[in-house]
A = this chain, B = another copy of it.
Amino acid sequence: MVQARLRVQKQGNGHCTNVPRNVNLEKLQSNYLFPEISKREFQHLDKYPNAKVISLGIGDTTEPIPEQITLSMANYACALSTSDGYRGYGAEQGNQALRKAIAETFYKDVLIKDTEVFVSDGSQCDISRLQLLLGSKVTIAVQDPSFPAYIDSSVIIGQAGDFQDKTGKYQNIEYMQCGAENNFFPNLATTPRTDIIFFCSPNNPTGHAATREQLQKLVEFARDNGSIIIFDTAYSAYITDDSPKSIFEIPGAKEVAIEISSFSKFAGFTGVRLGWTVVPEELLFSSGFPVINDFNRIVCTCFNGASNIAQAGGLECLSSEGFQAIRSVIDYYKENAKILVDTFSSLGLKVYGGVNAPYVWVHFPGSKSWNVFAEILEKTHIITVPGSGFGPGGAEYIRISAFGQRERIIEASRRLQKLFSQEKQPLLNSV
């Protein structure tokens, strides 16, 4: 952005429109986390052109999609060349068979109907569509740390005040601290009421899956306050223990929650683009007007359905064989996570996550996370994510992604162990 500003100033005689820049976009901080990490990686490669960089940074899937799933997409695509197989616009809400399969696969016990399932091109996109639904007048709370899109979309739609350099927070957004000290669950007794509560479990970045008891408290809190929870379950397939995989497992949640989810990390569809959002009919605005009606309108006006090829793949993921094949990929990533957890634990560090999530969250008490990030990159050529990129609550942590080929995970583990054995706890000095 600095470059662009300079270029404009140089143009000098260029024509400016009289259209004012959106004040909400002016408020957004320019160093969006992942582009910043990419920039640092490029700089590192400039410095060390022969370095074999291992990226445990952005949470991007790396393993092939099981063949029967890609074949279903290939067959669907090929059929588009035939008179019988050609399909144009599908329903904006998603193909009925897929909506039904999602309802039956993930929500059978909690009685979510297929008509309450809206197929999307991914959770991140639906977060912004939910913001269009809610508008600029609602108040929001987020976990701190949290996935940046909740806050950034809130700023873009106009819910937030100015960013405060001193606190690292936007005004008018409630940051609910979730750290090791409170078992990654906010102190609700001191949390002010907001209209909307974004909550991600298993959490990105901390890897913590909220317990049933925690979620019961959350739902109770939302009911008492008349709030709406936007519950992000993009990583629920990684849950091993008995933590709820859906907010709708909690009695009373249908009247206070929307759930967003995704095929991205569940089926390696990060590039294929497919997700869904559940809006229960029971969820009502203060006037009694059903939220689902407005979300349906947003989906019809601001979206036009996910690619029908991706939807064909999604449907195959939910067949019994497809589902089983996907599980083995998830197990692979979870074994990676275990290796990473063991590595950091063996080095005497406090490690969280990695059990119910593909993310490992490592604590470096007293350190600044960008310094830890920089030191690990400099000395091991491994990309991580500095926790402060997820909010001030992540200031002393780094996030390690367990997505990756096994040999690279093992090599990363080796390099990290070497670094720590050579320099006794060097990272604790990166204050």
In the complex, chain B residues whose CB is within 8 Å of the CB of A96: none
**Given A1-B293, A22-B133, A89-B58, A17-B256 contact (CB < 8 Å):** yes
CA distance A292 to B8 in the complex (A): 12
CB neighbors of B among A47-84 (8 A):
58, 60-67, 69-71, 73-75, 77-83
Is there an interface contact between B15 and A156, defined as CB atoms closer than 8 Å?
no
Q: Is A393 an interface residue (CB 8 A)?
A: no
CA distance A24 to B24 in the complex (A): 18
**Given A73-B77, A86-B63, A14-B255 contact (CB < 8 Å):** yes
Q: Is A306 an interface residue (CB 8 A)?
A: yes
CA distance A17 to B288 in the complex (A): 8
**Given A271-B90, A273-B307, A133-B23 contact (CB < 8 Å):** no
Q: Is A287 an interface residue (CB 8 A)?
A: yes
Is there an interface contact between B77 and A313, defined as CB atoms closer than 8 Å?
yes
Is there an interface contact between A5 and B289, defined as CB atoms closer than 8 Å?
yes
**Contact check: which of B135, B290, B306, B308 meets A8 at CB < 8 Å?**
B290
Is there an interface contact between B288 and A16, defined as CB atoms closer than 8 Å?
yes
Please tell me how many copies of the chain the complex holds: 2
In the complex, chain B residues whose CB is within 8 Å of the CB of A136: 136, 158
**Contact check: which of B81, B135, B297 meets A66 at CB < 8 Å?**
B81
**Given A58-B89, A273-B306, A226-B289 contact (CB < 8 Å):** no
Q: Is A411 an interface residue (CB 8 A)?
A: no
CA distance A384 to B134 in the complex (A): 34
**Given A272-B309, A307-B271, A19-B227 contact (CB < 8 Å):** yes
Is there an interface contact between B284 and A16, defined as CB atoms closer than 8 Å?
yes
Q: Mark A363-381, 1 if CB is under 8 A from B, else 0.
A: 0000000000000000000
**Smallest Cβ distance from A165 to chain B, in angstroms?**
19
In the complex, chain B residues whose CB is within 8 Å of the CB of A20: 137-138, 195, 285-287
CB neighbors of B among A287-309 (8 A):
287-290, 292-294, 297-298, 300-309
Is there an interface contact between A301 and B70, defined as CB atoms closer than 8 Å?
no
CB neighbors of B among A167-210 (8 A):
195-196
**Smallest Cβ distance from A257 to chain B, in angstroms?**
10
CA distance A35 to B300 in the complex (A): 9
In the complex, chain B residues whose CB is within 8 Å of the CB of A8: 284, 288-290
Is there an interface contact between A137 and B23, defined as CB atoms closer than 8 Å?
yes
Q: Which of A119-127, A349-357, A416-424 contacts B (4 or more CB under 8 A)?
A: A119-127
CA distance A19 to B258 in the complex (A): 13
In the complex, chain B residues whose CB is within 8 Å of the CB of A301: 32, 124, 128, 148-149, 152-153, 156
CA distance A83 to B406 in the complex (A): 13
CA distance A196 to B283 in the complex (A): 36
**Contact check: which of B25, B69, B88, B290 meets A4 at CB < 8 Å?**
B290
Is there an interface contact between B284 and A17, defined as CB atoms closer than 8 Å?
yes
Is there an interface contact between B15 and A223, defined as CB atoms closer than 8 Å?
yes
Is there an interface contact between B80 and A65, defined as CB atoms closer than 8 Å?
yes
Q: Is A225 an interface residue (CB 8 A)?
A: yes
In the complex, chain B residues whose CB is within 8 Å of the CB of A292: 4
**Given A15-B255, A15-B284, A81-B66, A304-B125 contact (CB < 8 Å):** yes
Report 8 cross-chain contacts, Cβ distance below 8 Å, ordered by A residue: A15-B256, A16-B286, A28-B297, A32-B297, A58-B89, A71-B78, A121-B121, A307-B310
Task: Using A16-B286, A70-B78, A74-B78 as known contacts, list a sample of 5 further A-B pairs with CB atoms less than 8 Å apart, ordered by residue number in A.
Answer: A15-B223, A17-B286, A18-B227, A128-B302, A273-B308
Instruction: Name A residues whose Cβ lies closer than 8 Å to a Cβ of B.
Output: 1, 4-5, 7-9, 11, 14-25, 28, 32, 35, 58, 60-67, 69-71, 73-75, 77-83, 85-90, 121-122, 124-125, 127-128, 132-138, 148-149, 152-153, 156-158, 195-196, 223, 225-228, 252, 255-256, 268, 270-273, 281-290, 292-294, 297-298, 300-310, 313, 403
